Structure formats: structure tokens, C-alpha cells
Structure 1
Amino acid sequence: MTDRSDFPDDMPPGERIQRLRERRGMSRPVLAGLCGRGPDWLKGIEKGKRQLRDHGLLVRVAAALRLSDLSVITGELTPRPITPGTRLMLPSASGVRDAVRGSLFSEAAPEGTLSVDVLRGRVAEAWRLWHTSRFQRSEVSALLAGLIRDAQSLPRRLEGPERRRAYAVLADVYHLAQQVTAYAVEPELYWIIADRGRRAAQDADDPLSLSGAAWAFGNGLRETGYAEEAIQVAEEAAEAIRPQLDGGPDDLKGMYGALHLHAAITCAREGRDGDAWRHWDEADRTATRLPDGYVHSWTVFGRANADFHAVSIGVDLRTPGSAMNRAEAIDLDTMPSVERRSRVLVELARAHRQRRDQAGALHWMRRAVNASPETVRYTPSARVLVGDLAKDARGPLKSDALQLADEVGVLTG
């Protein structure tokens, strides 16, 4: 374990970072990418030409180097521990960043090599990969930069209805990018992506695109502390498309149900018991009106997802008994999304933790990691729970909790 005594007291932070990086066998581009920056930025830090004054960036560097104490980098005499919930950076963040911030005058793909239908198929395959891979962020992020570039360029060469269809696909690409980058890039990049998704949906001028943009944007609002705004966005969108549900496509009904599940979870996190279950009831009614086996391609709204959300609502309302009773009625195999299965297993771990059942919490968290390591690794609340279990477990559970923390990449001190 690295501590401050490994370095001379007068060694500058940049040199410390370089030595720590080299000890771990990490290249400069790899460490820089994990911090959401480029290799030139890191080179400037290591050579003392740039000061690392931003606390958030300092924490990212420490987390990437698997340090539990910031003073190992800063050289301070007083330890500065960092929390288990520290944000991880997506290794391919630089490629996504370059694609999003690319030139407005970049060349479009050659005529005839790309069409709306071809691009829509690629996006659908990327969403399928997101829901079926245990390592969804790593695998989908490898495709994301190319999808963003092509989707941004396509509408420029089209006119009329085809151009609007291209904007609808672009909106879906940004919604996918928002899912992939959540908790895993700098907030500025995340919000650029979220806003671009809203704008593309507006240009598509299609109820399905607009409601999808509301769902995605509301997720961003909720996860950054704007719960009331998130509820308002979801409710307004659901009300706007409700008159079009009769006779409308199943996916529009699916988005309507997903919006109500979004509002239900957000209300539950705010402690609004009645509103949470009111929105869930509407989502439940919507699920029963859809064909058996229906699953929305990217929100995965359907019968199983409605039932899974009931467990989450119980946990967020701090009624673990209710959550566990709801869980008895769910069948994990009916959910096609590996990511969503892992999330509900985390919810069961949270429920057991609320009941002070450490063994039960550790059991379900282990299952969540087995289902999808990256779902746990990149979700702050799950990381915090893993850290708490590692800190609080006693006796035979201690070694299991520490091993789990190591697998997830949570610093335990």
C-alpha cells in the first residue's frame, strides 16, 4: 500500500504522479483518459508546467492510481482520505469528447455510404449491446464516437421528412451517449450531450423523439439534484403524448410508461410516498395494455421493468419490507437487460442494508457484481454501499466485503 513516506517530503506532486503511474505500468494516455483529460495535460502536470489545483481532478487522478489518501500526491502532512463514491472516468471519454466537440465543418460520410435506415440499425444494435453485455460501458463506448460523428453529419445532406428522420436517429444516439457517460465523464460533457439530445428531438418534431428526450433529460436533472424539475419534465411529457396513445404505436405507449416510472422513482427519492405510487400505478396500467413480452428497445419499459421499479420505490422510500415483498413476485429472467437486472440486485442489497442485515446485503451485492461488474462500478450509490460494507463488516464477512470492494475498484483505506 502506497503512503506519503514512499516519497521525499519536497517531491512535487507532478513527480509523485509520474512515479505512481509508472509503478502501476500505466501509460500517460491511459491515466489521462481515466481522468477525462488528454496526455498533454498530464505531461504538463508531471513536468511541473501545470498546477493541479482543481480538487475534482485531483480526486480523479488519485482514484485512477488506486490511492485512498490525497496527501500521497499533495505531500501534505495531514491525511486527506477520499470517499468510496468517487466518480470513475470512462477510459474512452476522450474519443467521445472529440466527437461531440468536433468541427462544425467536418466532412460528412461519402454519398451513398450512409442512410437513415442503416444508421438506425447501428444505433439499435448499440442499444442491444448496452442491455446484453456485462461490460456495457466499455463495449458501447468503443462504438460511440463513430456513431456520434455519422449521426451529426447525416442530417446536413437531407431535406424534408428524411431530414427529420435523421434528427430522430441523432437524438437516439445522444440518448445512448447520455446513458454511457452518466457518472463517467466530466459534468460539462455530460450536459452538452443531454442538451444536444433535446435539440435533435426538437428538430425531428416527432412525439416519440420528444418524449424520449424528456425521459433522458429528466434522468440528468434527477441525478444532479434537480428533482422537482425532473418530475415536471416527466409529467409534462407524459401529459403531452397521452391523447395520442389510442391508436398510436406501442413504442409511444412504452415511452409514456417509462416517463411515469421516471417520475415514480424521483418522487420516491424525495419521500413523496403517494405521488410515487400514483405514478407507478399509471405505469403498471400501461404495461398491462401492451402486448405480452413487449419491451421498449432502450428504456426497456415493459411488464418486468415496472415490477423491478416497484422494488426500487420501496427502497427509496426506506420501506425495505415492502421492497422485499415486491421482489418475491419478480423473475429476473424476464428482464432482457443485464444492466437492469444488476440494478435491481443492488436495490435488494440496499434493502438488506436498511434492515442492518450485512450478510444479506453482501450476498445481493455479490450477485449484482456477477450480473454486471460495470453497472456497480460506475454507479455512485452502489460504490458507496460497497465501501460501507467493507468498512462495517465483521468476522467472516470482512474478507468477502474487502474482496468485493477490490473487484469494484472501491478504495477502502
Structure 2
Amino acid sequence: MDADLTTGERIRVLRESRGMSRPVLAQLCGRGVEWLKKIESGERELTSHPLLLQLAAALQVADLSVITGTNTPAAAATAPLGRLAHPGMPDIWSAVMTRSLTAAPAGPVDPIVLQGRVDQTWRLWHTSARNRTEVGALLPGLIRDGEHAVRTLDGEQRRRAQVALSDVYRLTGQATAYVAPAELAWVVADRALSAAQAADNPAAIAAASWNLGNILRETAYPEEALRVVEEAADLIRPHLDGAPEDWRGIYGALQLHAAVTAAREGREGDAWLYWGRGDQVAKSLPQNYLHPSTVFGRANVDFHAVSVATDLKKSQKAIGLADDIDPDIMPSVERRARLWVEVARGHLQRGDRTAALHVMQMAHRIGAETVAYTPSARTVAADLWRNSPRSMRAETSRLAEAVGIATAG
């Protein structure tokens, strides 16, 4: 590859060398043809690391420097191999994409009972080390029952069913993140927001917006993600005085979402400003408060400080913040595992591969599926496997195999 080629030109050369059309590559990345055309022509700059990983996987390129050139930092240069897939996806796809437009021949669905089932499934998501598998098995039934309830109920019961259905689709978005086809991810996010708006429930709208913000951020629309969560925060803010604790909880979660989004864009001042707002919300709630789906609370605010510092490439600060955290106060297995992934990223930024391997092994023991299905975790595992010294090769290979990254050849 000519060293003078731009990133866009490299992508075009790689695509054409594989006989791949522009529409096919764009679809594999969950984006439009015009987006890829602008990237290849240099009209649009490609700065999103998740999108670089998607392009690398689609083009079967193991080293991101082949796409970006020789100036890619070593810690970010390797793309994780192995296709992200989950056996529960076909049933979830069927429930979401082939929903009936008429009432199914089933008995009535009590929206209170339905909401209770959804709440229990959220708890399972946060407490199981195999959360994608166990929650994924329950989602098709919840989706169908929620849709049936909304079609057959009316009045206040229908509004309650719409809130429950919005929760179901938010949970579906969480459980299928990074394994769902792009079209399903967008459908799920849109249905969660539409159901919440139909219920005219500010807290449900804010929660669905938090979910939509995740999709936007992970598909390289950071400005749109910030706009969505800021509008949701503006919507719910006037209702916070005297509102249930969970309304303030989702408001705080929106602030933390914005903090991470700003940090990934290198906007340090904005990132810590948003984080500070979330911190103030946590201080206004009981010390042991925990939002049922976003797990917003004191511990999660502290966890997000580590994420913000890591995304800002402030590895020393990130590791120092992590040293002051007691991770066991966070009841969410999924969130604890992701904390250690963030710490591993910080160690990798400093070039300390021994420490990065140690905490990645901890993350995998805590939440194996969280690590296996999170791109940032797979990136760390791939980097350790490819670039660690010979003395660490056996352990990094075992981690790579456990995460699902091919280690042969």
C-alpha cells in the first residue's frame, strides 16, 4: 500500500481488491452508501474507532494501520478478529421484525404483571455473567406479549403497557448491542422511543432517548447523540421536583451518557461538566440508590469518571480514580466487568501489558459475555495477544480464545 494514500483511498483500494461493491461494504458497517463515498473521497474524515473496527472486520484486515496509515498509535492499531454472533439472535429477530399487525389469539395481558416481568429481566441482565444468553431467551416472549398488550388494551392500561413495551425494546437494544444487524438496532431504538411517546411519560421518553443515544454514539453520530440526550434532559428536568427517585436517576444517566460522548470526541471541558452534573444528581439521591435499568447511582458515577478519563487518554488519572473505587458496591455484574475493561484500556495506554492482562482476566471472570461481546474489550484482548512479550503469550492466547478471537495462523 502506497504510504501517501489517505485513509479513504486505502479503504477504496482494499474494497476493490476484494471485489466488494460500495453498497455491500456500507451495509456491513450499518451505514449508507453516501457516507462511504464521502469517506473514500476524503470529503468526510473517519475518526470513529468503532467504525474503523467495523471496516477492518468487513475488509478482513487485522491491523488498523493498513487502513489509517503508519501514524496509528500502537495501542489502537489492532482490530479484533472473529465474527460477533449470538445463537439467540434469530428468535429475537423474528419477534421484532415479523410482529403481527392483528391481535394474536391469546389471553389478556395484565400491564402490571408485564412490567414486573420486564423489571425482573432487567435485574437478570445486571446480575448474570451470561446475561446475553439468559436475557435473550426471555426477550421474544416479552416482545410478543408487550405488542399484544398495546394492541388489545386501551386507556390507562394501554399507557402502562406502552411504558412496559418501551422498557422491553430498551432491554432488547442492550442485549443485542454489537451482535444485532444494523437495521434491527435502529428498529428497536425507534420502537422504544415511539412507545414511550405514545404513553406520554417523560421518564420513559428520557430512558428511551438514553438508549437511542447509545445507538447514535456507536454508529459515529456523536453530535446527534448529544442532541438527543440533551433534549431528553430538558424534557424531564421541569418534572424532577417531587418526582419519583427513578426520574432523577434517568436524568443523571443522561448526564453521564453525554460525558462519555464528549470525552470520546476529545472535549475534555464538556466531558467533566456533564460528569459533574451527574455527580450532583447522585448526591441528591440516597447513597445506596440504583436506577433499575441504567444502574445510575453513586457507584456508577464513579465508574464513569474512569471511563471519561480513559476516553480522554488520561490513563494515569483513570487508574488513580479506579484505585479509589470499591467495585463490589456495584451490584451490576455487567457494569463491574466493563469497569475493569476501562482500567485495562488505561494500562494499555501506558504500555503496561502485564497489568492490562491481569485486569482483563478479572473482567472476564466477572462477566464473560460482557467481555466477549464488547468491542473495546475485544480490542484490548486482541492487542494483548498480538503484541505481548513471549513470556505472556500463553496467557494472552487463552484470553483471546475465551473472548472468541481466532488465535490460529
User: What is the CA-CA distance between 1:104 and the residue it aligns to?
Assistant: 2.9
> What fraction of aligned residue pairs are identical, expressed as a percent?
49
* Whole-angstrom CA distance in 2 between matches of 1:253 and 1:58: 38
CA contact (8 A) 1:215 1:234 kept: yes
User: What is the CA-CA distance between 1:210 and the residue it aligns to?
Assistant: 0.6
Aligned match of 1:400 = 395
User: What is the CA-CA distance between 1:145 and the residue it aligns to?
Assistant: 0.5
Aligned match of 2:80 = 84
* Deviation readout 1:354-413 (Å, 9 max, x if unpaired): 000010110111111111111111011211110110000113211111111011111234
Aligned match of 2:143 = 148
* 346, 350, 363: which one aligns with 2:345: 350
Equivalent residue runs for 1:145-184 within 5 Å: 145-184=140-179
* Whole-angstrom CA distance in 2 between matches of 1:312 and 1:287: 17
CA contact (8 A) 1:267 1:275 kept: yes
Q: Is 1:329 matched up with 2:357?
A: no
User: What is the CA-CA distance between 1:323 and the residue it aligns to?
Assistant: 0.5
Q: Is 1:208 matched up with 2:203?
A: yes
* 243, 258, 263: which one aligns with 1:263: 258
User: What is the CA-CA distance between 1:57 and the residue it aligns to?
Assistant: 9.8
Aligned match of 2:89 = 93
* Whole-angstrom CA distance in 2 between matches of 1:287 and 1:180: 26
User: What is the CA-CA distance between 1:111 and the residue it aligns to?
Assistant: 3.4
Equivalent residue runs for 1:30-41 within 5 Å: none
* Whole-angstrom CA distance in 2 between matches of 1:86 and 1:221: 24
Equivalent residue runs for 1:19-98 within 5 Å: 83-84=79-80, 86-98=82-94
* Whole-angstrom CA distance in 2 between matches of 1:368 and 1:288: 28
Q: Is 1:133 matched up with 2:128?
A: yes
Change beyond 3 A, Cα 1:115–1:68? closer
Change beyond 3 A, Cα 1:182–1:218? same
SS in structure 2 of the partner of residue 347 of structure 1? helix
Aligned match of 1:280 = 275
CA contact (8 A) 1:87 1:378 kept: no
* 98, 123, 128: which one aligns with 1:102: 98
Change beyond 3 A, Cα 1:316–1:83? closer
Q: Which runs of 5+ in 1 are unaligned?
A: 1-52, 60-66, 72-81
CA contact (8 A) 2:127 2:334 kept: yes
* 228, 231, 240: which one aligns with 2:235: 240
Q: Is 1:369 matched up with 2:364?
A: yes
CA contact (8 A) 1:86 1:380 kept: no
User: What is the CA-CA distance between 1:55 and the residue it aligns to?
Assistant: 6.3
* Deviation readout 1:196-238 (Å, 9 max, x if unpaired): 1111111111011110111000011001100011011111111
Q: Is 1:230 matched up with 2:225?
A: yes
User: What is the CA-CA distance between 1:58 and the residue it aligns to?
Assistant: 9.7
Q: Is 1:316 matched up with 2:337?
A: no
Give the total of aligned pairs. 343
* 291, 295, 307: which one aligns with 2:290: 295
User: What is the CA-CA distance between 1:105 and the residue it aligns to?
Assistant: 3.3
Which protein is bigger by CA-based radius of gyration?
Answer: 1
Q: Is 1:193 matched up with 2:188?
A: yes
Q: Which runs of 5+ in 2 are unaligned?
A: 1-22, 30-56, 62-77
User: What is the CA-CA distance between 1:185 and the residue it aligns to?
Assistant: 1.4
CA contact (8 A) 1:83 1:411 kept: no
SS in structure 2 of the partner of residue 300 of structure 1? coil
* Whole-angstrom CA distance in 2 between matches of 1:325 and 1:172: 36
User: What is the CA-CA distance between 1:325 and the residue it aligns to?
Assistant: 1.3
* Whole-angstrom CA distance in 2 between matches of 1:58 and 1:272: 29
Please report the TM-score for the alignment, with normalisation by the length of structure 2. 0.80
User: What is the CA-CA distance between 1:103 and the residue it aligns to?
Assistant: 4.0
Aligned match of 1:48 = none
Change beyond 3 A, Cα 1:55–1:137? same
What's the Cα RMSD here?
2.2
User: What is the CA-CA distance between 1:106 and the residue it aligns to?
Assistant: 4.7
Aligned match of 1:25 = none
Q: Supply the AA of the counterpart residue of 2:291.
A: H
Q: Is 1:115 matched up with 2:114?
A: no
Change beyond 3 A, Cα 1:155–1:272? same
* Whole-angstrom CA distance in 2 between matches of 1:189 and 1:85: 23
User: What is the CA-CA distance between 1:107 and the residue it aligns to?
Assistant: 3.9
Which 4+ runs in 1 deviate beyond 2 A?
53-59, 67-71, 102-112
